[in-house]
Amino acid sequence: MSHTIRVLSTLALKDAVLALAGQYRAGGGGHIDADFAPTLALLDRLRAGEGADVVILTREGLDEVSREGRVAASSCVDLARSWVGIAVKAGAPHPDIATEAALRAALLGARSVTYSRLGASGILFAKLIEQLGIASDVNAKATIIQQGFTAEKLVTGKADLAVQQISELKQIEGIEVVGPIPHELQTPAVFSAGRMATTSRPDEADRLLRFLASGAVAPTLRASGLDP
């Protein structure tokens, strides 16, 4: 009989993991009990002693806990790449963000821009607006959330533009993804998975990792806004 397998995953893969859970179980795998949070929050929880069977983090985050002995290094696999994008409330005009100059103008022209403090996308965006020389102007009217989905602030009317991983933006109804921030201004996040060193179900954890890294999941990853 298959066991329930505990997964701690970054928010960027929430839609994909939830969609794949049924497919995995239908193929004979165990029930996936998943909890989702930004990578930085998950790192804090893991270092505080929280247990799991499999973790899905940014590659950098996974490497950190692997070096600390919390994750079996030999089990680590890359799953997907994700670009940071911009969204607006459904029906709102789509600003031009195709070039650095256009993106700069769009950010300065917005009533409020929302991004997350803990997420990988928020960290990238904070650095980007510094590089563009508009950090003080953008932050003066920004809606910065600690964690969670920035696009929720579009639906409530608190912001005009939401910045986050495209796979996270797409998880909120009532919004439209404008597109990615120009690729030359960002490095895509790589999300990876590994088996916790303390798991009592190593075989089941490895089975799930093989499934998540297989070609069979590629259509689901793409549908959720990720590149396999």
The pLDDT of residue 47 is above 90: yes
- Is there a shared CATH topology between the 5-81+189-223 domain and the 84-185 domain? yes
Q: How many residues comprise the chain? A: 228
Higher-confidence residue of 149 and 118: namely 149
The 10s digit of each residue's pLDDT in 67-101 is 999 999 999 999 999 999 999 999 999 999 999 99
The pLDDT of residue 31 is above 80: yes
Q: Which CATH architecture has domain 5-81+189-223?
A: 3-Layer(aba) Sandwich (3.40)
Q: What is the mean pLDDT of residues 26-52?
A: 95
The 10s digit of each residue's pLDDT in 214-228 is 999 999 999 999 999
Q: Which CATH architecture has domain 84-185?
A: 3-Layer(aba) Sandwich (3.40)
**pTM of the prediction?**
0.85
Distance CA 161, CA 34 (A): 29
In the chain, where are the structural domains located? 5-81+189-223, 84-185
pLDDT score for 147: 86
Triad 126, 129, 133: Cα angle to 5°:
140
- What Å distances lie between residue 16 and 2, 43, 79, 218, CA to CA? 21, 21, 11, 10
Q: What is the mean pLDDT of residues 190-215?
A: 97
Answer for the pair 124, 84: CB distance below 8 angstroms, yes or no. yes
